[in-house]
Amino acid sequence: MKFLKISISCFFLLLTGCSTETISDRLYTQAVGLSCDGKLSFYTEDFNQGINPPVEGISIAEVLRQEEALNGGKIFIGHTELLCLDGTCTLNPAEELLFEKGLSPACKVLYAKPEEYFQNPDNISVIHMIRMSEQNGLLCRTDLATALSEWHGIWKTALLPVQKENVPGLVLLHKDGHCTELSDFAGKGMYWLRQNTGNFTMTLQTPEGEQDLLIKNCRTEKRMENGELYYHVIIRTGTQKLNQTLQRLVEKQCQAAVHEMLAARADVIGIQDLLENSGIRPEANMPLKIQLSVTVQ
Amino acid sequence: MNKIHNHQLTAILFLSGAWSVICIPSLYGNGQISGTFAACLIQILCCLPMLALRTGTFSNQIQKHKSLGILYILFFLICGANGFSQLWEAAPPQLLPASGKLTAAVLIALTCFYTSSAGLRATARAAPIVMSIFIISLLVLILGAWNRADLSRIAFRTTDFLPSIRTYFSLSGELAAVWILSDTVRNHKNAAVNSYLIAKAAFCILILFFSITSGGRLIHLNGYPFFTLTALSQPLQGQRADALYILVFVMLHIMHTTLQTGLIEHIAEQMYPIAEKWSAPVSLIFMLIPAYFFKSAVLENMIFYSLPVLILLIPLSLRIRQFMQSIHKKEFTHEIS
């Protein structure tokens, strides 16, 4: 028995995991693109070699196998920061990448054609642009996990960032592939309705000229009363001046956001959760009435 | 077996129970929070007869009635087998320490053989250390999940109330160990057992809470909410937390299996001293075989239906007998005097 125990202890010394693979055997991707026009096309840019030639296959497992064979390394997508999708591709392959291949849930999902984007990608600047826009209150927070969760809702629509001339914009991508681009005004409204952060300075147009205002914090309270949905945006500025101007502006932005979202038959502000928690079974064609209010403190 | 401390008892029972909690499938309903809370209260009541028994009752009984010892050995074998079955069914590939679920199970079984060879006391001593690593991982999980939490998803519901009580009970095999282990605790055994029950329920409710608030609809995609949460909860931008989750996942399974193996070894040793050497490897083999052939749902049903007999009926009947004996003894002393 003692011999058996010693043998087992010695056997465990061989299981350190350091003997078989080196770092050069791995392919660490920075950005991944998916397109499903007929066949699944898989685009990657890794930290060492840059852009890799795209591969085609019928499943994620097959394209990964081909990618590994082509680039001579075992692919690791856990550090991927950007996933590029177009209307041809549903989020199902992305779901497989998240749950089975270790894709980060915080990975940004960009709405763009991968074949065009991966011709000359500038991932670092795109990722930083999206992150800084989110921090500075120019773009509401989106990521892979949020997009997947929205896509699995009854309205089957996810909110994704899209590259525009200056700051990124927003699109509502439906599961069937068609997308609706939100106006800049509605995009800002989405920020207030979805975001629960703040701490940025915004500039307001007043009759006295342009004035800066620090947004310390913002949150949204949701409730359902008498069959109507109430969204109450509370913004804390820590100052009394300009509050009314801000309130009017945010109200208009939120109204635009809700109007464009409902026109596109989408839900990216948690309507389904609110209905389900109130004991109502949501249906895709049900009429929705949303009451908006804004308080600036 | 030497005496163990009350906090070691809490830790070892909790870690074994935590393994079952992370492998609970379909744990994401609002009504399950109240169900888990109710199940915890019922379990506290169920443990009362076991804790009221005199110290050493279990050892005396299994020496007198060997069939009782065999019954408990069979139960712990099923619990151990269920652990391996859960490993095969629930574990996502990225949380396994080796490629291939069978290889991972065999490696874990070998580790369990090594850890159980030192006896239950050594396992109990290791439990608080594992517990501290588990708490750190849990904090990382909470930190990552809190960023995504939407509290408006929480609502009071009664749906799934009764099924969640049943699920919670069928994954509480370690309750039967309370009787055996509480005999070995120096003092405050009631507090130790209650702490374990409350901590396990709190952990289960915590997973439920974050499954609902952070997981959203994604939780429904994968049958096992804890593993979905580990995929979603990556709080560090430049570093993945998977290594921490792998460590905890494997350690919880090792603690769970080592506890079952240690208990079998302990019972077998008291019944047949010659069985001391071979009970651990044999029991591990007999855990792996049913785990390979039976689904965890079948083994969980076996645990659910045998648990009331082992934790309630047998200890309660013995307690009543002890109570009656003490009354007779008092009357006899009174008559003599």
DSSP per position, B306-336? HHHIIIIIHHHHHHHHHHHHHHHHHHHHHHH
Mutate: best of A9, A15, A99, A150, partner B, most B CBs <10 A: A99
Task: Quote the percentage of chain A above a pLDDT of 70.
Answer: 93
- The reply to whether A224 and A125 lie within a common domain is no
Minimum CA–CA partner of A148 in chain B: B218
Number of domains in chain B: 1
Q: What is the pLDDT of residue B11?
A: 92
SS3 A29: strand
Minimum CA–CA partner of A105 in chain B: B232
pTM of the model: 0.81
- The reply to whether A189 and A271 lie within a common domain is yes
Q: Is residue A15 part of a domain?
A: no
Q: Is residue A244 part of a domain?
A: yes
Q: Is residue B198 part of a domain?
A: yes
- The reply to whether A141 and A189 lie within a common domain is no
B-chain residues within 8 Å CB-CB of A5?
Answer: 114, 117
Contact A234, A221 (CB under 8 A): yes
A50 touches chain B (CB under 8 A): no
Q: Is residue A21 part of a domain?
A: no
Q: What is the pLDDT of residue A196?
A: 66
The candidate with the shortest Cα–Cα distance to A131, out of A118, A121, A141, is: A141
What's the CATH code of the domain at A119?
3.30.420
How far is residue B138's CA from residue B68's CA, in Å, rounded to a whole number? 38
Quote the ipTM score: 0.73
Residues of chain A with pLDDT under 70: 1-2, 5, 9, 12-23, 90, 195-196
Q: How far is A210 from chain B (nearest CA, A)?
A: 34
Q: Is residue A268 part of a domain?
A: yes
Q: How far is A209 from chain B (nearest CA, A)?
A: 37
Residue-level pLDDT, tens digit, chain B, 337 residues: 567 888 899 999 999 999 988 888 766 677 788 888 888 899 888 888 888 887 777 888 888 888 888 999 999 999 999 999 988 887 776 666 566 778 888 888 888 888 888 888 888 889 999 999 899 889 988 988 888 888 877 777 777 788 888 888 888 888 888 888 887 887 788 888 889 999 999 999 898 888 888 887 887 777 778 888 887 777 776 667 777 888 888 899 999 999 999 999 989 988 888 877 788 889 999 999 998 888 888 988 898 898 888 888 888 888 888 888 888 887 777 777 6
> Residue A205's domain spans which residues?
183-296
- The reply to whether A189 and A291 lie within a common domain is yes
Q: Is residue B75 part of a domain?
A: yes
Q: What is the pLDDT of residue B95?
A: 64
Q: Is residue B121 part of a domain?
A: yes
- The reply to whether A209 and A253 lie within a common domain is yes
B-chain residues within 8 Å CB-CB of A278?
Answer: 155
B-chain residues within 8 Å CB-CB of A12?
Answer: 110-111, 114
* A273/B153 CB distance under 8 A: yes
Of B107, B153, B232, the CB nearest to A145: B232
* B216/A273 CB distance under 8 A: yes
Of B111, B217, B231, the CB nearest to A149: B217
Q: What is the pLDDT of residue A16?
A: 61
Number of domains in chain A: 2
Q: Is residue A12 part of a domain?
A: no
Taken in order B274, B276, B281, B287, the sign of the CA dihedral is positive
- The reply to whether A46 and A104 lie within a common domain is yes
Q: Is residue B335 part of a domain?
A: no
> Residue B130's domain spans which residues?
6-328
Provide the CA B284 distance to its chain's centre, in angstroms: 17
Q: How far is A145 from chain B (nearest CA, A)?
A: 7
Q: In A7-165, at which residue ranges do the beta strands (DSSP E only) sit?
A: 26-35, 40-46, 50-57, 74-76, 82-85, 108-111, 157-162
